[in-house]
Structure 1
Amino acid sequence: MRVTLERTHLLKSLNHVHRVVERRNTIPILSNVLIRASEGEVQLKATDLDLDALETVPAMVERPGATTVPAHMFYDIVRKLPDGSQVSLETSSDGGTLIILSGRSRFALQMLPESDFPDITVGELSHRFTLPAKELKRLIDRTQFAISTEEIRYYLNGIFFHTVDTPAGSKFRAVATDGHRLAQANMPAPDGARGMPGIIVPRKTVGEIQKLLEDPEAEVTVELSDAKIRISVGAVILTSKLIDGTFPDYGRVIPQSNDKELRVDKSEFAEAVDRVSTVSSERGRAVKLTLSEGKLVLTVVNPDSGSATEELHVEYDDDPLDIGFNARYLLDIAAQLSTDTALFRLADPGSPTLIQDSADAETLYVLMPMRV
């Protein structure tokens, strides 16, 4: 194999595919990126057996061929080469190393054969649709923070994508929960999505998709079955296994009859929560919200270090209420809100609270209270 590429194109593609590769691998070939050169192009591919990333780069191919080299080392080499340089890749005559040439720099990386590189069997993908990158990014941005990190409840370790019929029409919905908080975001269902199976996209795959959605004007093609998903954005194709589990009936935890409404300036609220939580314990992080007509008092008491209170003027004209929340969770949700005013719908100190943007009916958050 002998090819020449623009360093900029090669680096951009390696940046997309090398992230799939885990830093520590017990199987040597999984530490490598596959380089396959054919007429006018080079394919770069990496996998961890659950997720693989493939990107095609334009190149001047003098001699076609394929090999694999350590992904992170190859990426670091290309990253450190000068901007605007040309990079030549050539397999050695003995077939043991890949020679990388650029200007006066020369590197030789140990290779493993292409035949050892695994391939995720995709099978038949039953549904296919396209949607704008900015819409898919919005769904992920609004829900990703609520993905559970507990491996025991593995079926919560991703975002649940599915379609639902609502009075406003068919919706493509993303939901994530860790049992303490829940995030839900909708968009109009794209053509081809109706009737799709409900799928749980793993946390790592969600993160990689999010990084690919750099161009808000781009179109994203989604192909899926009940076991696999393939996402195509520009020249990049991500293929991933889905979480094999049943997402819980999340609708049961979304309160329908919370009748106490609190409206508060999002930024003022987040800054106040951040300030008073400074004295909270790392383990507890509980902040008490004391509501009375037109007033909200935030209180944190830490027996080991002290206490803090802050008062805010708010829109609230219902019965007085004391309720506690995890400060970190409140800040996470506030960071997702896109309008200036946060709307809290509350019931009592022991029931879940509904939080929304005052002007965004497509997104909602549910937060379980804490005992304070």
Structure 2
Amino acid sequence: MKFVCDATKLSETLSIVQGISERRITMPILSHLLISANDNLITVTATDLENTLETKCDALVHSGGKIALPSKKLFEIIREIHGGEIEIEELENSWVQILSGGVSFKLAGLPARDFPSLPTQDLQQQVRVQASSLDDMISKTFFAVSTDDLRRNLAGLYFEPHGDGLLRVIGTDGHRLSFVEKKFENGLGFNEGIILPRKGVVELRKLLKSSGNGDIEISVSNNFFIAESGNIKLFSRLIELEYPDYKQVIPEQSKFSFTVNREVLNGAVRRVSVLSSEKTKSIKMNLSSSKIQLVSVTPELGEAKEEIDVEYTDDPVELGFNSVYLMDVLEAIDTEQVVIEITDELSPALIKPMGEQEYISVIMPMRV
């Protein structure tokens, strides 16, 4: 294998896959990239066995071939070559020589046959969707996904199709839940709910953001979620577990509700939470006619109070919430006003943008 390509373009290509490559010593091949040269294209592939990312770079290929090279070191070398052409040639025993101007490197690799086999794809199931719309749905729900790997069925976003292109995306960690739905005119390419793991969602968001206002192609094939945009293709293995019945968590009706300016409430929560407990992040919300007082008390630190105006005329209510959960929701909403619905101190609170029905978030209360 021998090829010549632009150093800057190759550096950009290698940077795309750095988030996938593993550093685990138990499987050294997972810290490597598969470099394939053919038809004046370089294909770079990274995998951690659960997620695989493939991207391409133009090159002048003198002789084709494949080799696995260490991801981090290869990226560091190419990144330090500032512009100009770079030549990479395979030597004996899976070594390569890298030349650019007056600098040369010799880098040890591994045989391409050691690299894990790549997932397959059913091209007939591909559907084009607007990247920005899907990214918006993920931004409104991903923060609620569980970080506890022991609760594997909650450690990813749930994508649930509902016919006629309607998609629901749900994230929950058992203490909070966020739900959003949106219709995609071209359909979705899958008919049953799927759970996309956290790392797969992170890589998908990178792909969506790089696509801007354009479209991406998505599909589900052989228990993999597949997304493709331009020269980048992502395969993410789905979590094969049953997602909990999220509808049971969403209150069907509430006794009280109040309306408040989103930025005002978010700012007050942020300030008061400075003196909240590092462990619980809890704050108290004392709701009364047209006012809400936010309070945090930590004996070893002190206390903080702030009062803001709200639209509320019912009986006084005292609530307790995790301040981080509140701020996550308020930052995900983009309307000026938010509506918070409650039944009592021990029931979950329902938070939604004023005038919109597509997005809701549920937060479980805390005893403060």
TM-score over 0.5 for the alignment?
Answer: yes
1:273 is displaced (CA, Å) by 0.9
1:234 is displaced (CA, Å) by 1.2
* 2:16 is equivalent to residue 2 of structure 1: no
1:38 is displaced (CA, Å) by 0.5
In structure 1, the partner of 2:112 is 114
The one-letter amino acid paired with 1:106 is S
Q: Deviations over 1:265-323 (max 9, x none)?
A: 11111111111111111112111111111101001111222211110011112221111
Q: How does 1:119-268 map to 2 (within 5 A)?
A: 119-122=117-120, 124=122, 127-164=125-162, 170-193=165-188, 196-213=191-208, 214-225=210-221, 227-268=223-264
**Distance (Å, rounded) in 2 between the aligned partners of 1:133 and 1:365:** 23
The one-letter amino acid paired with 1:87 is I
The one-letter amino acid paired with 1:155 is N
**Distance (Å, rounded) in 2 between the aligned partners of 1:224 and 1:106:** 43
In structure 1, the partner of 2:349 is 353
1:194 is displaced (CA, Å) by 7.1
2:100 to 92, 99, 102: 102
1:232 is displaced (CA, Å) by 0.5
**Distance (Å, rounded) in 2 between the aligned partners of 1:257 and 1:194:** 34
The one-letter amino acid paired with 1:130 is R
**Distance (Å, rounded) in 1 between the aligned partners of 2:187 and 2:251:** 31
Partner-residue secondary structure (3-state), 2:73: helix
Most deviating of 291-300 and 353-362: 353-362
* 2:82 is equivalent to residue 69 of structure 1: no
Q: Deviations over 1:191-219 (max 9, x none)?
A: 34276111000000000011112232221
- CA distance change for structure 1 residues 350 and 371 in 2, over 3 Å: closer, same or farther? same
CA contact (8 A) 1:197 1:226 kept: no
Most deviating of 213-222 and 43-52: 213-222
In structure 1, the partner of 2:273 is 277
Partner-residue secondary structure (3-state), 2:9: helix
The one-letter amino acid paired with 1:8 is T
Most deviating of 51-60 and 188-197: 188-197
**Distance (Å, rounded) in 2 between the aligned partners of 1:66 and 1:125:** 25
In structure 2, the partner of 1:79 is 79
**Distance (Å, rounded) in 2 between the aligned partners of 1:366 and 1:194:** 29
CA RMSD of aligned residues (A): 1.7
CA contact (8 A) 2:195 2:239 kept: yes
Most deviating of 278-287 and 152-161: 278-287
Partner-residue secondary structure (3-state), 1:308: strand
Identify unmatched segments of 5+ residues in structure 1: none
**Distance (Å, rounded) in 1 between the aligned partners of 2:266 and 2:134:** 26
**Distance (Å, rounded) in 2 between the aligned partners of 1:252 and 1:226:** 30
**Distance (Å, rounded) in 1 between the aligned partners of 2:44 and 2:115:** 12
Partner-residue secondary structure (3-state), 2:117: coil
What TM-score does the superposition give when structure 1 sets the normalisation length? 0.94
Identify unmatched segments of 5+ residues in structure 2: none
In structure 2, the partner of 1:58 is 58
Q: Deviations over 1:41-80 (max 9, x none)?
A: 1110011111111112111111111111101111122222
1:103 is displaced (CA, Å) by 2.3
**Distance (Å, rounded) in 2 between the aligned partners of 1:225 and 1:258:** 41
In structure 1, the partner of 2:87 is 88
**Distance (Å, rounded) in 1 between the aligned partners of 2:116 and 2:88:** 22
**Distance (Å, rounded) in 2 between the aligned partners of 1:127 and 1:316:** 50
User: What is the identity percentage for the equivalent residue pairs of Structure 1 and Structure 2?
Assistant: 35
Partner-residue secondary structure (3-state), 1:277: helix
Partner-residue secondary structure (3-state), 1:20: coil
**Distance (Å, rounded) in 2 between the aligned partners of 1:215 and 1:195:** 22
Q: Deviations over 1:149-208 (max 9, x none)?
A: 11221000000001126xxx6521110100011011111034342761110000000000
CA contact (8 A) 2:23 2:30 kept: no
The one-letter amino acid paired with 1:263 is T
Aligned length: 367
Q: Deviations over 1:83-112 (max 9, x none)?
A: x322211112x2431111222221111011
